[in-house]
Amino acid sequence: MKNLIATDTGGLMQIIKKVVKKGFEFFYKIKKHQNVDTAFLIDVHPLNKKNFDEAVRYIYQNERKNFDIILYIGHLHFKPLSLIKIPAKKEPKTFHFTAKILNPESISKDVLYDVNNWDVNLSNYDLI
């Protein structure tokens, strides 16, 4: 495991942990969020059910004394064994995306607007 240090907008040092396993890697961070010790699973690459569940299991087994809840923010094209989906009405923030096709020969609207073709998670934002 490697610790990657990033600076947030307030100048505070934040530690993001990178774990490299056979065939995949993932990143996570533990911090207090709304007064709850939270483990944020930031990214899993490549993202699939097996890798995702193994990443959650690793965080739980190695960090369980340091957090109360594990969160993954993003769309999953599979049902994870290890986490439950929060109902939309309980989600703290809604993200809106826009897109414009510049070359209609390269991609269709059906492909572009299918959420399963997008890989968006906390690694794409400066939120935590």
Higher pLDDT, 57 or 86: 57
Higher pLDDT, 95 or 57: 57
Asked whether residue 36 carries a pLDDT value surpassing 60, the answer given is: yes
C-alpha–C-alpha distance, residues 28 and 18, integer Å? 7
Q: For tokens 């059910």, name the residue.
A: 49
For the record, the structure tokens of 84 come out as 């439950």
Q: Do residues 29 and 19 make contact, with C-beta atoms less than 8 angstroms apart? A: no
C-alpha–C-alpha distance, residues 59 and 66, integer Å? 10
pLDDT classification of 65: cutoffs 50, 70, 90: very high
Residue 120 has a pLDDT of 67
Classified as helix, coil or strand, 122 is helix
**pTM of the entire predicted model:** 0.74
